[in-house]
Amino acid sequence: MKMREQMDAAEVNILHTYNRFPVMIDRGEGCYVYDTEGKKYLDFAAGIAVNALGYHYPGYDEALKAQIDKLLHISNLYYNEPMSEAGEKLIKACGMSKAFFTNSGTEAIEGALKAARKYAFLRDGFADHEIIAMNHSFHGRSMGALSVTGNAHYREPFEPLIGGVKFADFNDLDSVKAQITEKTCAILLETVQGEGGIYPAQEDFLKELRAICDEKDILLIFDEIQCGMGRTGKYFAWQWYGVKPDIMTCAKALGSGVPVGAFVLGEKAAAASLVPGDHGTTYGGNPFVCAAVSKVFDIFEQDHILDHVQELTPYLEETLDKLAEKYDCVAARRGRGFIQGLVIAGRPVGDVVNKALAKGLLVISAGSDVLRLVPPLVITKENIDEMASILDQCLAE
């Protein structure tokens, strides 16, 4: 069956909630993927920042195959060794207290919201607390995660959502202060806004938020689902700022390909929030995905993945800056580490994305005008040069 016929067959059976690109990916190797007709693509999308190790990284597949031969699922009614190991490594990486494994980033957000509200309920004895989230944020598509996503376009068709959510402007402390009341139990933000257009947080903003939260006993929640797990050169982007959250969510690259997320609580939130019966998951933390998480942490440590990102970031940024200087249609570059965005002006960003696809480069967009680059963390200078060469051709056209 030809690729076009395969795609048409998928449309017959799969609910059309994505306007997919006209390509059917068949396999991957290193930092490249291949479609069913054998065409090769350099992957600077990484499954939307998931495939941190690219494809078939040495040791990763073998760890999953070994776990398949032992046990896939047992439920959270019992302990399993991979979950214990993965939890220990996650806690060590972030220096927090307790982890809860989920199936996705959206579910991690749901757990974080519940933990924050339960903390405030135990403190105050009433249940109508409020959460402050950021405009232009994105936290997922379930009803709870949509409620704190700062984009009305995503929310409106599904309202009413959960109540008690207010929105402030990212990197604007006065805007946040204006939303705080005696009912505020949590402030939620992405350390680097992803879908909203690749905006890193400002250091003063995070430090002031931390001070306010400490003063008023408000929980500070950082969403590290896209910008975490090494993408900025630290395990978590907040570690660059020296500002630790009370609750953190992560997913995507946490398992580098398998569907797994987590929310992690600091000591204060862990000691006085969720207890048995408050939260649960059938599949979350199963042996298979936790074997992947555990192996990912091992690879990061043994192969110095964070050092590699830090060493190569200046070259990536310089390369993108040269494109921005060369073309008037590139208004700016922003980002940190291996989460970068080029602001495209005067032409649809989708036009650049599609031209790149035709020339063998996978990139995606963010917001309405940003070309997003979130490659595997194991890319080389040669990969960056190839990416830049293709983008140069696309922008010239």
Model pLDDT for residues 338-394, shown as the tens digit of each residue: 999 999 999 999 999 999 999 999 999 999 999 999 999 999 999 999 999 999 999
96 and 53 both lie in a single domain? no
Give the C-alpha separation, 129 to 365, whole Å. 35
Domain final residue, candidates 267, 302, 337: 302
Model pLDDT for residues 230-256, shown as the tens digit of each residue: 999 999 999 999 999 999 999 999 999
CATH of the domain at 12: 3.90.1150.10
Residue ranges with strand state E in the chain: 25-29, 32-35, 40-43, 98-102, 130-134, 165-168, 184-190, 192-193, 199-200, 219-223, 247-250, 261-265, 330-336, 339-344, 361-362, 364-366, 370-373
Number of structural domains found in the chain:
2
- The two tokens of residue 293 are 């998480």
- Does residue 196 sit in helix, strand or coil? coil
103 and 209 both lie in a single domain? yes
309 and 271 both lie in a single domain? no
CATH of the domain at 95: 3.40.640.10
Domain final residue, candidates 302, 324, 346: 302
Comparing CA positions, the residue from 64, 31, 221, 49 lying closest to residue 134 is 221
Domain final residue, candidates 253, 282, 302: 302
41 and 166 both lie in a single domain? no
pLDDT at 397: 86
Rounded average pLDDT over 188-204? 97
Model pLDDT for residues 27-84, shown as the tens digit of each residue: 999 999 999 999 999 999 999 999 999 999 999 999 999 999 999 999 999 999 999 9
Give the C-alpha separation, 297 to 50, whole Å. 14
Give the C-alpha separation, 67 to 296, whole Å. 14
277 and 351 both lie in a single domain? no
Comparing CA positions, the residue from 212, 188, 192 lying closest to residue 117 is 188
Model pTM? 0.97
Q: Are 156 and 171 in contact, with CB atoms under 8 Å apart?
A: no
274 and 173 both lie in a single domain? yes
Give the C-alpha separation, 204 to 117, whole Å. 27
Neighbours of 65 (CB within 10 A): 10
192 and 325 both lie in a single domain? no
Domain span including residue 349? 3-57+304-396
